[in-house]
Chain A
Amino acid sequence: MENNEKKVFPRPEIEERVIPQENLEEHEAQLKQKLAELKPVVAEAKAALKEAEKAYREALKKEVEEGKKKVDAALEAAIKANNGDKEAAKKDADYLAECRALDIIKHGDTDSLTGLKAAYKEKDARFDEVNDEYQSVKRAIRYLKVSFRQDLVDDGVVLSVEHLKQYFSLGGGYKTKAVHNVSFQIKKGECFGLVGESGCGKTTTGRCIMRLYDVTSGSIWYKGYRITGGTRWNEKEIKWSRVHAKEKIAYLREQEKEEIRLSKKSFADLDAEIAQIRYQERLELDENNDPAREDNDENVAFIREKYAKKIALIEERKKMSMDAQEHGIDEIHAKYDKEIAEIKAKLNEGIQIQKDLIRTIKYDKKNVDPKLASEIQMIFQDPVDSLDPRMTVEEIITEGLHIQGQYNKAKNHEIVVKMLEKVGLIADYANRFPHEFSGGQRQRIGIARALVMNPQLLLCDEPISALDVSIRAQIINLLNDLKSEMGLTMMFIAHDLSVVKYFCDRIAVMYFGNLVELTTSDELFRHPLHPYTKALLSAIPKPDPLSEKNRVRMVYRPNEAHDYTEQLPTLKEILPGHWVLCNDAEKEKYLLEIEELDKKAKEGGEK
């Protein structure tokens, strides 16, 4: 089984650039060593260059000064010879000869200077060469630290989009949430379709992968490397963890206060008891205090003593409990302080993790290997607007090569001709301008422009919806041929499900910035589950009047179709490889639906 799977999705062939991640440190050490070795060489080359330049410039300056003197002398002599006529003197042959000699000196072409000049040029070239190597090693060290995930490479995943969010600021704190939460993976050699109505964020997703936007949140991994990412989620995580911690601490403090208040309540009880006893004492005294009686003093003394004893007992108890409570309050304080400290420590730890993540994401975003990035290319929707009308076809196609640093004209022309032939155009077209072509031919030029970078992942953003009917099939067939010929991995963005079905292995359906269904194309048409997918499917016009007249169009109204009051939906795997945005109740409903659909299909097949 494993072998078979690997055959379907062979590992990406990027050996030249992939550094085995186990030996990362070793490799880095190697590179650093190389850098250290190169550093003195560069310094030496720079010093040599400076020396040579100084020598050359000084010699040049000297000779030029001499030459100027000679010119002045010649001019004076000429003026004298012409009896003070300056204009005539400037036409004197000697003077002109001197002027010419000065020009030659200025260019450094005299016998004495040529040697120095050649040495200077040579040193300059040498420095450039060494410095380039030094910089490239330096860059390589930077690229080395970019986040890498071996598991993605092992699974044969070329592109992995994870929790992608793309918001656009509208000003005044308002935002358009174009892409809300999108995750999917594209495997090697696969053709992945993204469908949805206009404005659902499918083109934005494509452009995020091309790194044309600053991604708000989420990460995009290409061949295991993170090529772009956003930090909004992490920032929000920090903010909310702080808020939650603060709330928790405030709650704990409140509890602490309550506990202390409760424990203090017992003192109040004892005090009340004492007051009661004193009250009883006074009552008794009022009753028994009779100065007329002889033993009055004794009686009073006896009563007072009796009550004093009672009070002393309680006082003792109070004092004892007070001591204990004093101690207890300290304990309560200690208990809560400890808890709060724990929370704070946890918070700080969490924040540190998020901050580290933010730092890595920002680092990764900055240090993408340009060669890696150039492997992702895009074909645009409008063949008229996406070609510069002032550039010839050759210029359009070679622009990418120029950016990559390939300036060899003959070689580039060869590549252009090859590409033009590949997309079904003639080599003669290279010198023409885009306006001389029809829509289909222009789209072919757009495809050639993408192919010239030798891409491994091709994003097609509605490449045929702006074309004429008869041309559409040509472009579809061309893309199909290229796919099998060059082993391209493709992502196809469109709103026309019949084209996507024809073209793609797997299809993701998007609705208002969210993925609602993701599965293989056959499965999507066999078991459409999400109501939005059903609505889309029912809207495809078919060139078949009989079925078209009986068509029942379904309408998707999100408020009526779902009940998310109890549980919010998440992407759930209903059948192996079939993901639908739903909650648990809906999942069960969908499973029943699948059974029914299978039954129907079986009956239909038997018929």
Chain B
Amino acid sequence: MEKKVYQTIDYPFTVGNAPEGKEAVLSIRNLSISFKTDNGMVHAVRGVAFDLYKGETLCIVGESGSGKSVTSKTIMGILAANAHIDNGSVTYEGEDLTKIGEADFHRIRGTKIGMIFQDPLSSLNPIMKIGKQITEVMIINGDHLKHKFNDVISEALITYNNDKRLLEIAKEELKFVKKNKKSTPEQKEAAKKAYLEEKARLEPIIKADKVALKDKKKEARKVVKEFKAEIVKRHRELRAPILKKMFSKGGIAEYKNFISERRRYVSELRVTHKEAKMRALKIMKEVGIPDPERRYKQYPFEFSGGMRQRIVIAIALTADPDILICDEPTTALDVTIQAQILELINKLKAARNMSVIFITHDLGVVANMADRVAVMYAGKIVEYGTANDVFYDPRHPYTWALLSSIPDVDSKERLEAIPGTPPNMLFPPKGDAFALRSKYALGIDFRVEPKMYQISETHYCASWLLDQRAPEAEMPKIVSTRIENSLRKAGVHDGK
């Protein structure tokens, strides 16, 4: 039989065409991150690219140390101090999240992108009541005037920051060349020249940006002032008759109205504690906490593991994020509670049209949650496709190994364990990283990194086995029989 020819794509720089009717909310391209340690640089992520579509769940699967958590932390901007982003971009709403500063991240982190962590106990403050922990963020981010101001200047600020950052990058490059002992004087000269050129090009742009920003700020201040003046004016108008009545005879009964008017006025300026509490109670009810009024006043230790995880989800939801990142949220929980939490996340996703990035190493959970699956190994995505693609038509030996190494309820045959341990990322292996542990490894796997082959519209896989010249490789029998069984059970007949 003639081997099928698959197209390859220029992987870390593109991820193929988006499926019809899907809009990418977040796109990552060629992301590489390394950590500086005493032993050298640990290359945790080495060229990852994917798109997250609106209202979809992307599951990232892989064993610990494969770089899935690091990728998600980059999106949140909470990488450890010794991390270094070598390359790549994380684009969200036209902004590159790898290039913006800490101050700008405050606009995004928590409000636009929320995150749930693995251990629900250590992500809650043990000496703070649950209610306060949920409302804290709402109150801190609750200044309506500030929001108004930020809304007006945001565009100008983003362009200014991006341009400024470009200059900084150019400067860093020059510094790198200068510090490098191997670089020749000519190289240094060339780098300096390039930097100066870049500087000459950028400086007027930045200057213009700065002026524009200043103008925008002025404008924003004016807008805010008008806005506030209007509110104050209205407040005074409404207050005047009340005051009049209050200071006349028997007017003490009007005091209640006076207070309520005052409260209305304050709530137009910022989120009040009462408002925040009402919203928190609503969200607590939404995530399935019974008797929220009582629970609002309790401490984290009074909650069970599942309830704590619900609280963490509630906190992440308060700001109504577009993207929710779940970093192994059910690993510390047992099966029954896990099923509840997964159901909850699915329900909330549908209700709020959120996009979810779900990180886990449990394939059962992936099957439940995922619209799209990315299988990661040694800092790279080795297979990427819809859940049905990856589970019913797996192509990469690592995916096969993962599928064959978990015990199945329906069968009792011997499991195919993956021999050995994951590679040491201080010295990432050449070629296909999984080749060392794979029995399907070809000679080329040890030398050259495999290309990303496009199997179908949505299904991609990086393995030399898919090359036209490679020998035919069958997936392990245990996997193929399982797939056959489950397809038969579901009433779908395999096309092949």
Which residues of A approach B to under 8 Å, CB–CB? 197-198, 438, 440-441, 468-474, 476-477, 480, 495-499, 501-503, 525, 535-536, 538-549, 551, 553, 556
In the complex, the answer to whether B415 meets A553 with C-beta atoms within 8 Å is no
A542 in contact with B334 (CB, 8 Å) = no
Q: Which of B365, B388, B422 contacts A546 (CB 8 A)?
A: B388
**Contacts known (A541-B367, A543-B403, A545-B388); A473 close to B415, Cβ less than 8 A:** yes
Contact A543 B367 (CB under 8 A): yes
**B335–A476 CB distance below 8 A:** no
From A438, A477, A542, contact of B415 by CB (8 A)? A477
Q: In the bound complex, how far is the Cα of B367 from the Cα of A548, in angstroms?
A: 6
Alpha-carbon gap, A551 to B489, bound state (A)? 13
Report the number of A-B residue pairs with Cβ-Cβ less than 8 Å: 132
Mark each residue of chain B from 439 to 483: 1 if its CB lies under 8 Å from any CB of chain A, else 0.
000000000000000000000000000000000000000000010
Sample (12) of A-B pairs whose CB atoms are under 8 Å apart: A197-B336, A468-B64, A469-B405, A471-B63, A525-B409, A535-B336, A536-B336, A539-B338, A541-B338, A542-B486, A545-B368, A549-B368
**Interface of B, helix, strand, loop or mixed by DSSP:** helix
A542 — which chain B residues lie within 8 A by C-beta? 364, 367, 408-409, 486
Q: Which residues of B contact A498 (CB under 8 A)?
A: 364, 406-409
Judge whether A546 and B63 touch: CB under 8 Å: no
Judge whether B402 and A470 touch: CB under 8 Å. yes
Instruction: Say if the beta carbon of B319 comes within 8 Å of chain A.
Output: no
The closest CB in chain A to the CB of B413 belongs to: A502
Give Cα A556–Cα B340 distance, bound, in whole angstroms: 12
Most B C-beta atoms less than 10 A away, residue of A471, A499, A535: A471
Measured CB to CB, the closest approach of chain A to B467, in angstroms, equals: 25
CA distance A63 to B418 in the complex (A): 74
Which A residues touch B415, using CB under 8 A? 473, 476-477, 502
Partner of B368 from the list A503, A525, A535, A548 (CB cut-off 8 Å) is: A548
B417 located at the interface, meaning its Cβ lies under 8 Å from any Cβ of chain A in the complex: yes
Contact yes or no, A497 B409, CB < 8 A: yes
B406 with A473: CB separation less than 8 A: yes
Cross-chain contact A501 with B409 (CB below 8 angstroms): yes
| Interface residue from A472, A473, A502 paired with B412 (Cβ < 8 Å) | A502
Chain B interface size band reads: 35 or more
Q: Within 8 Å of chain A (Cβ to Cβ): is B363?
A: yes
**7 nearest interchain CB pairs?**
A541-B364, A502-B407, A473-B405, A473-B417, A543-B363, A546-B490, A539-B339
A546 touches B336 (CB 8 A): no
CB-based contact A480/B336 at 8 Å: no
Q: Are A469 and B387 in contact (CB under 8 A)?
A: no
Question: Which residue of chain B is the closest to A543 with respect to CB atoms?
Answer: B363
Nearest CB on B from A558, distance (A)? 13
Q: Is the CB of B422 within 8 A of A470?
A: yes
Instruction: Give Cα A198 to B407, complex, Å.
Output: 21
Taking a contact as CB atoms under 8 Å apart, the answer to whether A536 and B335 are in contact is: yes
- In the complex, besides A469-B63, A473-B404, A474-B418, 7 extra interface pairs with C-beta distance below 8 angstroms are A197-B334, A470-B422, A495-B334, A498-B408, A541-B338, A548-B368, A551-B368
Q: Is the CB of B370 within 8 A of A545?
A: yes
B364 touches A540 (CB 8 A): yes
Residue of B367, B418, B421 near A545 (CB, 8 A) is: B367
On whether the beta carbons of B406 and A469 are closer than 8 Å, the reply is: yes
A471 to B405, CA, bound (A): 8
Interface pair A541/B412, CB less than 8 Å apart:
no
Q: Which partner residue on chain B sits nearest A196 by CB separation?
A: B334
Is A497 a contact partner of B335 (Cβ separation < 8 A)?
Answer: yes
Query: Residue of A at shortest CB range from B490?
Result: A546
A541 touches B368 (CB 8 A): yes
B490 touches A540 (CB 8 A): no
The 0/1 profile, CB within 8 Å of A marked 1, for residues 109-129 of chain B is 000000000000000000000
Residues of A within 8 A of B486 (CB): 542, 544, 546-547
- B366: CB under 8 A from chain A? yes
**B405 touching A470, Cβ below 8 Å:** yes
Tell yes or no: B487 within 8 A of A by CB: yes
When distances are taken between beta carbons in the complex, the residues of chain B under 8 Å from A470 are 63, 401-402, 405, 417-418, 422
Point out the residues of chain A lying under 8 angstroms from B402, CB to CB. 469-470
Closest to A522 in B: B412
Q: Which residues of B contact A495 (CB under 8 A)?
A: 334-335
Give A471 to B420 CA distance when docked, in angstroms: 8
- B414 in the interface, Cβ–Cβ < 8 Å? yes
Cα distance A148–B387 in the bound complex, in angstroms? 58
| Cα–Cα, bound, A44→B230 (Å) | 111
Query: Whole-angstrom distance between the alpha carbons of A480 and B416 in the complex?
Result: 13
Most buried by B among A501, A538, A548: A548
Which residues of the other chain, A, contact B418 by a CB distance below 8 angstroms?
A: 470-471, 473-474
Q: Mark B383-410, 1 if CB is under 8 A from A, else 0.
A: 0000110011000000001111111110
